[in-house]
A and B are shown apart, each in its own frame.
Chain A
Amino acid sequence: DAMVIQNPRYQVTQFGKPVTLSCSQTLNHNVMYWYQQKSSQAPKLLFHYYDKDFNNEADTPDNFQSRRPNTSFCFLDIRSPGLGDAAMYLCATSRDINPYNEQFFGPGTRLTVL
């Protein structure tokens, strides 16, 4: 089945220690998104790639970076995680940027910062 895969499902890191979260897709979609969702909050878009074009949200901290080496993979790098970065990180894909195109989500990676 075509899907969005996130690894790992659970990630524990130490305060200030860089961490990378991974997302892959078999849908061959053009757009890949990274969302942060904290407990009892709405998903918050961090950034998205349209093909190789990177689009950062204005309020995404510089501590968060992303890479998309090819169509299938996208990575979220947190350079110096703080306690406030503990959250669920959701990767999603869509065929195109227009909201008419359904977003397909992975299961998420829950990040714990000690």
Chain B
Amino acid sequence: DQQVKQNSPSLSVQEGRISILNCDYTNSMFDYFLWYKKYPAEGPTFLISISSIKDKNEDGRFTVFLNKSAKHLSLHIVPSQPGDSAVYFCAASETFDAGNNRKLIWGLGTSLAVNP
């Protein structure tokens, strides 16, 4: 049973337009969310994160929005560039679990293609 869901396996966007990648989660105990980007033949690299006490976090062209009531977050990339073409993983965690449940739970990823 997937606790972090990325329902769109792929997305294609024109250069200069906005890319919106979506992520849904089921565990209400998750309180920290991250996006990682992965190029072929490389490991994932951290992109941006958001704590559940916020509803928005922005870093340059990348903005993550969190809707806790809907258990939904989205990553916006504006403007999209061909170099953004990669697989984007959403991940979630409980930060204050006294046990060992602070591991990241990953989605399946969304492959973004930004066309020139």
Q: Does A92 belong to the interface (CB within 8 Å)?
A: yes
Q: Are A43 and B89 in contact (CB under 8 A)?
A: yes
Q: Does A81 belong to the interface (CB within 8 Å)?
A: no
Which of B9, B43, B108 contacts A107, CB < 8 Å? B43
**Which among B9, B44, B93, B109 has the greatest number of chain A C-beta atoms within 10 A?**
B44
- In B44-101, which residues have CB < 8 Å from any A CB? 44-46, 49, 89, 93, 95, 100
B45: min CB distance to chain A, Å: 7
**Which among B9, B104, B107, B108 has the greatest number of chain A C-beta atoms within 10 A?**
B104
Number of interface residues of B (CB under 8 A): 23
The docked-state distance in angstroms from the alpha carbon of A104 to that of B44 is 8
Q: Are B43 and A90 in contact (CB under 8 A)?
A: yes
Q: Does B4 belong to the interface (CB within 8 Å)?
A: yes
User: Do A42 and B44 contact each other (CB < 8 Å), given the known contacts A99-B32, A99-B34, A100-B95?
Assistant: no
Which chain B residues have a beta carbon within 8 Å of chain A's beta carbons? 2, 4, 9, 32, 34, 41-46, 49, 89, 93, 95, 100, 102-104, 106-109
